Every structure is written in structure tokens, then in C-alpha cells.
Amino acid sequence: MKDGKLAAIPRTTPVQSATFTNSVNAEIRRAAATGIYDIRGGGAKRRVPHFEDLLFLGASISRYPLEGYRERCDTRVTLGTRFAKKPIELDIPVTIAGMSFGALSGPAKEALGRGASMAGTSTTTGDGGMTEEERGHSTKLVYQYLPSRYGMNPDDLRRCDAIEVVVGQGAKPGGGGMLLGQKISDRVAEMRNLPKGIDQRSACRHPDWTGPDDLEIKILELREITAWEKPIYIKIGGARPYFDTTLAVKAGADVVVLDGMQGGTAATQDVFIEHVGQPILACIREAVRALQDLGMHREVQLIVSGGIRNGADVAKAMALGADAVAIGTAALIALGDNDPKWESEYQKLGTTTGAYDDWHEGQDPAGITTQDPELMARFDPIEGGRRLNNYLKVMTLEAQTIARACGHNHLHNLEPEDLVALTMEAAAMAKVPLAGTDWYPGKPGF
Amino acid sequence: MQTINLEADGLRSMNAALQGQSTDTNQTSWEIVNPKGSHAIAVGLDAPIEVTVKGSTGYYCAGMNKQATVHINGSAGPGVAENMMSGTVIVDGDASQYAGATGRGGLLVIKGNASSRCGISMKGIDIVVHGNIGHMSAFMAQSGNLVVCGDAGDALGDSIYEARLFVRGSVKSLGADCIEKEMRPEHIEILRDLLEKAGCDAKPEEFKRYGSARQLYNFKIDNAGAY
């Protein structure tokens, strides 16, 4: 057979495997070359059912809308009304989630405090203790009580505005943490009482209590130390939201903070981020059901987090029963993280704008998640605070716009009946009807 | 001497009275009667006062203590003197789990035995146990001194950082990255001082010192098998 005839025979088109994709294969090669699992931040990157799978119905003949520029739509929220003598009053229901000094620079913490305070909301410490930058610039500061107890002391407990006992977080329910040695500056080392330059491990469970009965006593101790003034939050990852919320309430929580698997600022193994925990959409209604079964919905407030990006997400979370939301990744982006102006530097790090997630390595071109003085100098905390305030304002305005369109004069009046789902999965998780039907999977009576 | 009847006055009233003492208070001597194993007794104190608890206590007695001396005439439940900043806590009897957990300063003396996880994640506190301690004690211990006049249970000092462990008796097993270390003259002096403060007549020369091999300080894949 001549060569020309051979070339004319149709060839099988090369087909990429849907199972062994290029990115899967690249990870196999990386693992084979290094022997180490991949650690990153950024939360779950896989597509999971989320708030964009829900739609608001808006007003109709059965409901009439509020006029956007004339009729008030309140956004205030009070957190900690169950036991605390001094509940937290916030102007908006969007709070800043816990992120540690150490993981973040001091100026970044300052910017979070500035922006949150301008917007009338709270910010939260993290695994590393309370810094003056953060306390000084945060009108309302939530102090995290973590397994590592880095920086924990009774004076800071008394000068915070609320205490958040961290049991788990969405990126790694059941997991601890590690701050790599390259981020352990003199100051971070001193605050954590550990040598400079070593990897600092954070335990996955608390050192002095092991279950809900113990937790109840631990909360009693914290309340006694702080004269019952501070609201006590309990933060849980999106693992078993019904039972965890029930137990948190039983243990005495004023507020439950529920973090879904999209929660992104915590660094851990990629396999942990992508394969442990549930999307926040799957968690909210179960947590609300637990509160309702206990007669505690709205008496114990619910804050949800994990992938909140805009006012629509805020409104949807609240329609599903949350009292407020918390943002972490979105706040960092508002400060300037993953900004295209640093693209050439992201490329030097082997990544690109929007995909940079190695915040734990301390080489952040934006100067936010680093302790390197030269990189930190790139970040202006005043400008960062202004940007965060702007972003929080926009989120609030967007949520108000939606609430008014649904006929509500307070964001808290949004309800599941305002929503439909675009997919079967979202309908099942959010327990709202699939669009065009009056049904969702698992609905009683069907 | 100020006397508080915990059963009659209640926990909040008792802690408020003790927490309300200033650094220059004249009311320096307090007695708590009828503790009956209550939790969170004498927590968050911040004055140079002496508090004697006439009986045994529940969880977290003297938690986050600063400056005060708290003397428990009985045994203590879990987490006695947890996260203590300074001052002294003395337990005449035994102590349950997590004694001195995450403590940052001060001295905790346990005249009986201490259960598991004694000194877990300690960050500067000194702990002297006249008797034995249970398993997983000094887990992730960062700094400070743990002195054990009796024996230590399994996995002593697992994942330890820079804390010093002194044990006079046997150690059932050492945890990951914890090794026996040379007892140098400065350690003898530290130990002599702590034993004296704790009212213990043991001789420093009878102890062995344990601490970190510092092999787990930075993640290496070859160490994965150590966990």
C-alpha cells in the first residue's frame, strides 16, 4: 500500500479521559516526584451546589414589593441574645470570618478591622491571638478560642466583644492546622510561644475538653471569667449540621457559626479540602431545623459562611434561615488578593491570577498573607480598609434590593418561600421547590 | 479571712467577689467552703490574694489564674489551672485530666497523682507532681517545666517542643520526638528550685530529663511514619 493511501484512512481521534484528566495526571506526577501531598488554601474548587443554583421569585400579585429608594429595608442584626449581658449589635449582617495573625500580616488585620468598623460589622481573630492592629481598629472584635490556644489570655478575653469557640471549620472539619516555618517571624513566634522558623502545628481538638458535656462546662468557665458579658459563639464545620447544631445549643452557645466546605482561607491538604465536609447549601436548612426543633431559631443566632460572594448570596443564606453571614476569601479579594496587577508575579510562582492559593507559603505578591516585610510594604491598610468597606456596602445594598423586590422590610424577613431551585440537587439541599414545580426531593407527602 | 459559702452564695457571686479584688486589696485571704465538686471555682482571678478551697473541685478550678494563690484542700477535676498566667495553685489530693493545660506561667503543685494529659500544650507553666502522671502527658508541650516525682505513663512528651520534663521514676514510653537528654548543672538548679517551691524533698540528682529531639520541627515526608 502506498503512503498516500495509508494517510487517507480515518484515524481515531485522541480522547482525554474524563477520569484521568490532565490536572489529575499532573497531580499524580507531582505526588510521584515529591512524596508529599499538596497543601493549599482557597477552599473547595470543585463545582458543588451553591447559591447560584437558587433564584428569588420576586413580588407578584400575591405579594407587593417595596420601593427601592423610598421604603426602608433594615439590615441590623443582634447576636448573642440568649445568655450574654452584652449582645453584639451590627449594622449589617455580613461579618468578617476568623483569619489568624501569622497567616495574615498585621496591616492586613488592621485593614479588616478598618473596613468592618466603617461598615458597622465585626471582625474575628484567628489562630494566633489578638493583635493591637486588629483590636485597635475593630469596633466589634470576636476572639477565637482555638485548640492551639496560641496567644490565649484572660485580658484579651475580657477586651473582646464576643468569644468564638472553634470546634471545626469548613475547609477541614476534623482537621488541625500548620503554619509553615517561613511565616514564623519574631513577632509571630513570640505570640505563639514557639521558636522562630519551625512549623507550628495546631491541634485538631481542644486540649481540655472532649465532648459536648465538657464543652458546656468550658463555656461556663469562659462566662465566669468574663462575667457573663460576652456572647459565646461555637463554630462548626459543615459535617453533621443537625447534630452539631443541636449539641452546640445544648452546650450553651449564644450563636452557632456554620462553615461549609467552600470556606477557603485555611490551608490544609487538597484532598481534605475537596473530599471532607459538605457545601454550605447542604448545611443551612439542617442547622435551622435543629434550632427549630429546639425552639431556638432566632434565639440562638446562626451565622453561615463558605463561599459567600455577593448580596444575592447573603440574601439567599438569610432566606434559608441564617441570621448573618461571614466572609473570608471574599474579604481578602476585596483587600487586593489575587489582583490581576500582580499577574507577572503569580506566574513566577507557577500560578495565575484567581488561582493563587498558596497563602500559607508567605510569598503573597499582594502582601496580605505574608510576614515578609518587603511584601507587606506593598499593602496599604487604609486603602484596604476603604475597599473592604465599599465591598461590604455593595453586598448590603444588593441584599436590600432583593429583599425589597420580595416585599420585605428587613433582611431577616426573607424566607424559603421566596426561593426556587434550578437543579434537583439544590432543591434537595435547600428544601425549596425545583423551579416550575411545587416539589423538592424528600418533600413530605410526595 | 473572708469566707464564701459556695453552696449558699452561688458560683457567680463567689467568682465576682474574687475577681473584684484589685492588686492592692487588703482582703488578701479568702476561704471557699462547701465547694462540693463545683466547676469553674476561682477562675480568672487577677490579684495577689490567697484562696483556700475547703474540699474537692470540679472542672477548671483556678482557670486562667493570674497572681493569686489557690490552695485546694482536696482533689481537683479536669483542667485545674488551665491556661494559668501566673501565681500558684496547689492541689492537696489528686488531679484529673489536663492539669495545667496550656498554662503560660506560675506554678502548679499536685501533691497526689495527676491523670492523663497533664501539662498538655503547656506554654511556660511549671508543674510539679509529687506522685505519678498518666498517659500523653506534656503532649505538644511548648515551654516550661514538668516535674514528676513518681512514674510517667505512655507516650510522655509526644510531639514536644521546648518544654523540659523531669521524671524521677519510670517512663512507660516516650512519645514521638521525645528523648532522654543530658542533665546539666543548670537543669539541676532549675529542678532544685522547683522541688523546694513545691515542698518536695526529692533530690534533683534522682531525676532524668526528657525533651525534644527537634526532628519534627519542620515537616519532612520521611517523618510521616512517626505519627
Q: How far, CA to CA in Å, does B219 sit from each of A36, A270, A349?
A: 10, 16, 21
Asked if the C-beta of A190 comes within 8 angstroms of chain B's C-beta atoms, the answer is no
Instruction: Kindly list the residues of chain B whose beta carbon comes within 8 Å of any beta carbon in chain A.
Output: 11-12, 15-16, 19, 39-40, 43-44, 46, 58-60, 63-64, 66, 78-79, 82-83, 85, 97-98, 101-102, 104, 117, 120-121, 123-124, 139-140, 142-143, 159, 161-162, 217-219, 221
The CA distance from A224 to the nearest CA of chain B, in Å, is 7
The bridge status of strand A54-56 relative to strand A301-305 is unpaired
Residue among A137, A108, A94 at smallest CA distance from A310? A94
Whether B221 and A153 lie within 8 Å, measured CB to CB: no
Write the pLDDT tens digit of every residue in B8-19.
999 999 999 999
Residue among A175, A181, A183, A173 at smallest CA distance from A202? A175
> Distance between CA atoms of B102 and A203, rounded to whole angstroms?
12
Nearest CA in chain A to B116: A208
Residue among A255, A356, A342, A262 at smallest CA distance from A309? A262
Write the pLDDT tens digit of every residue in A366-402.
999 999 999 999 999 999 999 999 999 999 999 999 9
Residue A171: pLDDT band with limits 50, 70, 90? confident
Mean pLDDT of B43-58: 98
Whether B217 and A220 lie within 8 Å, measured CB to CB: no
Write the pLDDT tens digit of every residue in A407-438.
999 999 999 999 999 999 999 999 999 999 99
Chain A positions touching B139 (Cβ under 8 A) are 207
Whether B221 and A35 lie within 8 Å, measured CB to CB: yes
Q: Tell me the CATH number of domain B2-226, given options 3.40.50, 2.60.40, 2.160.20, 3.30.390.
A: 2.160.20
- Global pTM value: 0.95
Write the pLDDT tens digit of every residue in A248-291.
999 999 999 999 999 876 778 899 999 999 999 999 999 999 99
Chain B positions touching A180 (Cβ under 8 A) are 219
Chain A positions touching B46 (Cβ under 8 A) are 154
The CA distance from B81 to the nearest CA of chain A, in Å, is 11
Residue A6: pLDDT band with limits 50, 70, 90? low
Identify residue A12 by its one-letter amino acid code.
T
Residue among A99, A142, A94 at smallest CA distance from A121? A94
> Domain coordinates of chain B in residue numbers?
2-226
Sketch out chain A's domains with CATH numbers. Answer: 53-336+379-430 (3.20.20.70)
What pLDDT score does A369 carry? 92
CB proximity list for A28: less than 8 A, separation 6 or greater: none
> Distance between CA atoms of A330 and A347, rounded to whole angstroms?
22
For residue A111, the number of C-alpha atoms closer than 13 Å in the C-beta half-sphere is 29
Task: Kindly indicate whether the ipTM for this predicted assembly is greater than 0.90, answering yes or no.
Answer: yes
Write the pLDDT tens digit of every residue in A317-365.
999 999 999 999 999 999 999 999 999 999 999 999 999 999 888 899 9
CA dihedral B29, B33, B38, B41 (to 10 degrees): -10
Write the pLDDT tens digit of every residue in A31-85.
999 888 888 888 899 999 999 999 999 998 988 999 987 899 999 999 999 999 9
Whether B217 and A208 lie within 8 Å, measured CB to CB: no
Whether B121 and A195 lie within 8 Å, measured CB to CB: no
Surface-to-core class of residue A345, CB atoms within 10 Å of its CB (0-12 exposed, 13-18 middle, 19+ buried) = middle
